[in-house]
Amino acid sequence: MRLSALLLMALLTAGIPPAWGTAGQVVPDAFSPTLQPVDLLPVPKQVQWGDGVFAVTSGTRIVVSDQATAEDLFAARELNEELRARYRTELDVVRERQVADPAGHIVIGEPTSNAMLGRLLEQAGISVTAASPGPEGYVLRVTRGQITIAGSDRRGTFYGVQTLRQLLGPAPAAAGPQPGIVASVRVVTIRDRPDHAVRAVHLLLDGSSGEFHSALIDRILAPYKFNTLIVEAEDVQWESGRSLWSPDPRGATKAQVQKLLEVARQHHIQVIPLIPTLGHSEWVFAGLRDEALCAQVAYIPKHLREEGKPQMTCDRARGVYPDVYDPERTITINGTPTTLNEALILPILKEAIDLFRPAYVHLGHDEVRGPSGLRYDMDLYLRDIVTLSRFLRSSEVRPMVWGDVLWERRTEAAAEPLFRELPRDLVIVPWKYEDIREYPELSYFRRAGFPVLGATWYRLHNNYWFSRAAKAANALGMVRTTWTGHFQSQAALTRAYQQLYTYLSAAAYFWTSDRPEPDRAPREAELARRFAEAWNAGTRPAAPIPGTLLNLSSAATQRHIDDDGAGWLGKGADYDLRALHSGRQRFGGVLFEVLDPRRHDGKSIVMLRGERDVAAAMPQRVTIPWRGRAACLVFLHAALDRAVNFGDVIGRYTITLEGERRETIDLRYGRDISSWLWDAERGIASIEQEVAWSGSTRAGNDVQLQMLRWTNPSPQTSIQSIELTSSGGRASPVVFAITALDRCP
Amino acid sequence: MKVRPVRGVAAIAIVLVTAMNGVAAPQTTLEFWTISLQPFFTDYVNGLVAGYRRANPGVQVKWVDVQFQAVEQKLLAAIAGGVPPDVVNLNVEFTSRIAERGALVDMDAAVPAADRAKYFEGLWSSGRFKGRSYGIPWYIAPPVLIYNGDLFKKAGLNVLTPPATEDAMIEAAKRVKDRARVYGFMPPLDGTRLMYLFLENGLPVLSANGKLAVFNSPAHVAYLQKYMDLFKADYFPDDTLRRGFTGAVERYSAGQLGMLLVGPQFLLRIKESNPEVYAKTFVAPYPMGKGRVIHAPLMALAVPRASKNHEEAGRFALYVTSDENQLAFSKLTVIFPSTKKAAADPYFRQKGTGPEWQARAIAVGELKFGRDLTVVVPNQTELFKIFREAVEGAFFGKMSAKAALDWAVREWNARL
């Protein structure tokens, strides 16, 4: 038994209440798993909760139709993966003929092909047909005796399973020890279907796509019921046009794309390639073998070219290129006159069709502007859409374009004869990323005869209002765009995490456009937590872990409450952290002791030196003389301001172990620590950042503290001291509490 | 060439020269970045480069022209990648933001006092960050009112009596929309430009000591509300906040906008984009607000600290911004030099015909009211984003004007 546990036992045996020692307080539950309430996302259309639970035991089977295909079995596998990750268990998957009695089992499929399922639904008086709940719809019924998932179609069954994954909980503790129970599901009946037929995420393919995007599909996108990917594919290692152009070697290989396509197919996700043409055609210029050709194909208004002012910067080394090309300008390749469309664009489109076998190809065509803000010829713009659309039609593929140019220049466009020649199966995708209530372009394009998809970004209200407007306009669906920069897909996890965890709120509104109301929607910290939990798919210990709540009173330099303009930020009670209660607080399962400044000589936190006025007189380093063993140290902390650069090291914690060995933790801004104020620019920038507590100032600012977990590489060696050091910038670190754990959770 | 040490300046500081006739270090290549000067000023910049090479044998100058929207991102990428330009054209907002990262050379330390004295003091100190200047002023362009005479006539407005005040301009814009059936104007509300409008109307953004945001007074709220009401009544298009002056110039050039509030240098783009619209174009003074000050955006030349040629880069920046070169540039389009001698040239008092000469005469008169009103604050990226989101939130129906400005002030005050 560990020393801390012995000490606690001794205290309790003696009938003495645990006292706050000079070094710290030993507690038996320094970490204790916290149960998150079930909060289904997307919100299903109809939910009727009942009493009791269905107990998942080792004897529970997943029952599929006798005719179940690999596709059907995949849904069962997904359920098993969830059980394996969270509860270290896996259920047998059997066919209905192998089960005499469905009691105690999970029966999944479509009633048309699963007779047992049909009987169960009939007994319950529930009707599930192709028309009801409808395409991609399902009924999930959980009773104490069994679970049934009935899809209107295969996708519906798949989404029913995804909902069940969210409902899985631990075995109920109140029921007492029940051997064999591995998990439980609360009794409920859910009838559900999506509001939008297309629920897409837009991604940029790169060299990490095979692994990273496949994991994204498996852990996040499919479980949250997205069914389409629109992938920017210009950097795929295309073989076309190699006589004049070559792709960026950082792009995805065809093998990686194939893997992505296979994973997407398994998860009922269609993949639409996006080849940005005209607008954002940097990839074209960057890949041209001859820089002289770059200047030749750059779009210059005709009269300027005639005036002899064609010079445009084409600088591969600096990544500086013209804005847009001229698809029809004659160029000479290997002595043969041609155009960029003929020599490069059309062959790549053909190759993309062969690789993706898509129903649609997105042609880009957004933000098409001439050099220095000159207008791009509308006639040329429309003609290019018509030309490329005809080419796609020859392969029975439908075209798609962004909608900004056709909306912003609608009067000009509609006046052009070519506007009438635009194919009416052209899907127009207007994008708006601000929190806007009205989206008049949807009805404008619908009236003009085009199908539309609304495109959003990460903002909550943008997704809520746009999705509702799209539903009202009878749009094809919605697209959540991702703008993390080229070749940055995987890096987004640790640099642009906000763009990823907000997929969850987009998923919610794309499925059920009017719920949850934005003021009831999960906050970003909660979305970030849910994303990280799904991404890491790890298990958490079920039992409490003992540890020590370190006593910071002798090291405290400032207080987090500011009644007199001398505490916290020095800006008075409206801008302090009084919302953080003093005393014991449990965040993310870890127990912390936040000092009460009234009982500790007006001090409660360790504020270190920084550029902000209030921190200028603080010490640059503070040593906490705690001695003891710990497998993990958990710091509750925040920075006093924002660092200039993401990733700046704003300070360090140095742990001295017995024998003068030192372990150093660099505090990288945005990853290990962040400002106490919600970052209005980046949100939670890294999946590594764990928001422990969030609240508001009296003035109304959203504020937060983060938690940094450090794993001791030598848990058997005693810690002698912990030194906290600031780098002295605006973003100086402030420590609120430290907890030492006997084991790492 | 005269090189003298600058006392008390750290090793990164550069030493510049007062004369341009020195002998340059052999085999130096300077990289010079401009913003959106191609294709209109290709010949001018090539001429500048050639002139410098002639005077400085052994120095090569590589010119890279970057689009306005891309320059900040490209610059940061180039600095991070270890391939920074040696001289880069930036506006005040970009300059202060990049200076905050410690990525620019301190020009107060680097440029000798005698050279600094050649520039207007107000321009030299525009955009000082933490009391230091990080750019050599290049040119300014006070905005003017550009309007479409045909649309004015269709709206029953007198072409010869353009609106002289902001309220009169709003009334004219409403008439154009109501009668000519095209938008009358796209007010400068995108990004953080509402800040300039506040300041032009005597409504402060910060307290005197710079420690508090104060842009949520009833007067600020009423001012924002005025434009929100216009937006709600569809008196300006929904891409006004998204595309700003770029969208406005594009719409005006298509004959789809009655009035344009931009620097007079944009006349050249209108002329090239649509000569027919240009032929119908008139120019009038910028309808001044109650603050009797006009935001005149300043362009400056900065030297990244990561440049390996600080000395030569500084010399080149002084050359580009010299009296002679600025005067020559000012003759190609309607901009104004940052040096006192060039600005005093009789050319700026000459009269000519056509919108550009009209604009030049008007802008000369406006210079005394012109200042770059960019609000320089620490943590500018985040603060500006908060301001932008507040303005968008108000216009797009997320918050009331008061709630939006209260929110932004609260967020600024926690960060200032």
Identify whether the C-beta of residue A286 lies closer than 8 Å to the C-beta of residue A297: no
CB distance from A571 to chain B under 8 Å?
yes
Distance from CA of B396 to the nearest CA of A (A): 5
What is the pLDDT averaged over residues B358-369? Answer: 87
A312 touches chain B (CB under 8 A): yes
Which site among B104, B129, B238 would you substitute to test the A interface, given the most A Cβ atoms closer than 10 Å to its Cβ?
B238
String of b and e for B377-398 (b: at least 16 CB within 10 Å)? bbbbbbbbbbbbbbbbbbbbbb
Q: What is the pLDDT of residue A469?
A: 98
| Cβ–Cβ < 8 Å for B109, B137 | no
With both helix axes pointing from N to C terminus, report the angle between A154-167 and A70-87 in degrees, rounded to the nearest 10: 10
Tokens representing A687? 């999946």
Domain ranges, ordered by start, for chain A? 3-32+540-741, 46-192, 198-279+341-536
Does the active-site annotation cover A658? no
Residue A54 CB burial class (10 angstroms; 0-12, 13-18, ≥19): buried
- CB of A520 within 8 Å of any CB in chain B? no
Quick one: pLDDT band at residue B60, thresholds 50, 70, 90? very high
CB of A584 within 8 Å of any CB in chain B?
A: no
pLDDT at site A22: 56
> Is the Cβ pair B398, A435 closer than 8 Å?
yes
Nearest residue, CB atoms, B382 vs list A301, A412, A681: A681
At residue B24, the pLDDT reads: 45
Q: pLDDT under 50 in chain A at which residues? A: 1-20, 177
Element (H, E) at A726: strand A719-726
Tokens of residue A343, six digits: 């020599």
Residue A681 to chain B, least CA–CA distance (Å): 6
Inter-chain touch A312–B38, beta carbons under 8 Å: yes
Is B64 in Cβ contact with A318 (below 8 Å)? yes
CB A435 to CB B396 under 8 A? yes
How many CB atoms within 10 Å of residue A681? 16
d(CA A29, CA B120): 68
> Residue A572 region, left (φ>0) first, then alpha (ψ -120 to 50), else beta?
left
**Spatial CA neighbour of B126 closest among B86, B88, B95:** B95
Answer whether B398 sits within 8 Å of A437, measured CB to CB: yes
> What is the secondary structure of A235-290 as a DSSP string?
TS---TTTTTB---TTSPPHHHHHHHHHHHHHTT-EEEEEEEESTT-HHHHHHBS-
Tell me if A677 and B411 make a contact (CB, 8 A cut-off).
Answer: yes
The DSSP letter of residue B92 is H
- The CATH architecture that domain A198-279+341-536 belongs to is Alpha-Beta Barrel (3.20)
Of B250, B379, B381, the CB nearest to A373: B250
Higher pLDDT, B272 or A592: A592
Neighbours of A588 (CB within 10 A): 17
Contact between residue A431 and residue A404 where contact means Cβ atoms under 8 Å apart: yes
Q: What mean pLDDT is predicted for residues B164-191?
A: 96
| Minimum-distance CB partner of A375 among B83, B254, B396 | B254
- Chains A, B: CB pairs < 8 Å: 141
Question: What is the DSSP code (8-state) at residue A575?
Answer: G
Given an 8 Å threshold on Cβ–Cβ distance, is A371 in contact with B273? no
Domain A46-192 fold: Chitobiase; domain 2 (3.30.379)
Residues of A in contact with B31 (CB under 8 A): 318
Q: How far is CA A576 from each of CA A564, A637, B386, B415, rounded to the nearest angstrom?
A: 11, 15, 20, 12
Q: Which of A299, A300, A318 to mutate to test the interface with B (most CBs of B within 10 A)?
A: A318
For residue A575, the distance in angstroms to the closest alpha carbon of chain B comes to 6
Sketch out chain B's domains with CATH numbers: 28-141+296-344 (3.40.190.10), 144-295+373-415 (3.40.190.10)
Distance, CA of A141 to chain centre: 29
> Catalytic residue among A367, A533, A663, A723, which?
A367
| Displacement of CA A400 from its chain's centroid (Å) | 25
Q: How close A634 gets to chain B, by Cα (Å)? A: 27
Q: Do A312 and B65 touch (CB under 8 A)?
A: yes
Q: Residue A660 contacts by C-beta under 8 Å, 6 or more apart in sequence?
A: none
Which pLDDT value is given to residue A174?
53
- Establish if A698 touches chain B: CB-CB under 8 angstroms: no
Residue B399: the pLDDT is 96
- Say what the pTM is: 0.91
CB contact under 8 A, A317 and B83: yes
- Could you tell me the strand order of the sheet in which A621-624 lies? A621-624, A719-726, A649-657, A661-668
Encoded tokens for A259: 């893997």
Tokens of A129: 């047909």
Q: Do A372 and B415 touch (CB under 8 A)?
A: no
* Residue (of B279, B273, B267, B255) closest to A377 by Cα position: B273
- Choose, out of A380, A416, A434, the residue to mutate when testing the contact with B (most B CBs < 10 Å): A434
Pairwise CB contact (< 8 Å): B42 & A438: no
Mark yes or no for CB contact B254/A369 under 8 Å. no
Residues in B closer than 8 angstroms to A469, CB to CB, are none
The answer to whether the Cβ–Cβ distance between B242 and A301 falls below 8 Å is no
- Asked whether the beta carbons of residue A436 and residue B250 sit closer than 8 angstroms, the reply is no
Q: How many angstroms away from the CA of B392 is the closest CA of chain A?
A: 7
B229-268: string of b/e by CB count within 10 Å (b at 16+)?
ebbeeebbbbbbbbbbbbbbbbbbbbbbbbbbbbbbbbbb
Percent helix, strand and coil across chain B, each to the nearest 5: 45, 15, 40
Best of B379, B380, B388 to substitute, by most chain A Cβ atoms within 10 angstroms, is B379
Answer yes or no: are the C-beta atoms of B264 and B356 closer than 8 Å. Answer: yes
Interface residue of B76, B396, B400, B409 to substitute, partner A, most A CBs within 10 Å: B396
Euclidean distance between CA atoms A149 and A159, whole angstroms:
9
pLDDT of amino acid A300: 87
Residue among A304, A437, A677 whose CB faces B397 most closely: A437
pLDDT in tens, B307-337: 999 999 999 999 999 999 999 999 999 999 9
Q: How far apart are CA B248 and CA B150, in angstroms?
A: 17
Is the CB of A323 less than 8 angstroms away from the CB of B392? no
On whether any CB of chain B is under 8 Å from the CB of A320, the answer is yes
Q: In this predicted model, what pLDDT tens digit does every residue of B134-147 receive, in sequence order? A: 999 999 999 999 99
According to DSSP, the β-strands at A61-64 and A147-151 are: unpaired
CA distance A263 to A256: 11
Residue A323: its chain B contacts at CB < 8 A? 67
For chain A positions 591-620, those within 8 Å of chain B (CB to CB) are none
In angstroms, what separates the C-alpha of A319 from chain B's closest C-alpha? 8
Can you read off the two tokens belonging to residue B4? 């003298």
3-state class (DSSP) for residue B295: strand
Query: Which of A 403-432 lie inside 8 A of B, CB atoms?
Result: 407-409, 411-412, 432
Task: List the single residue in A313, A409, A697 with the smallest CB-CB distance to B38.
Answer: A313
Residue B22 has pLDDT above 60, yes or no: no
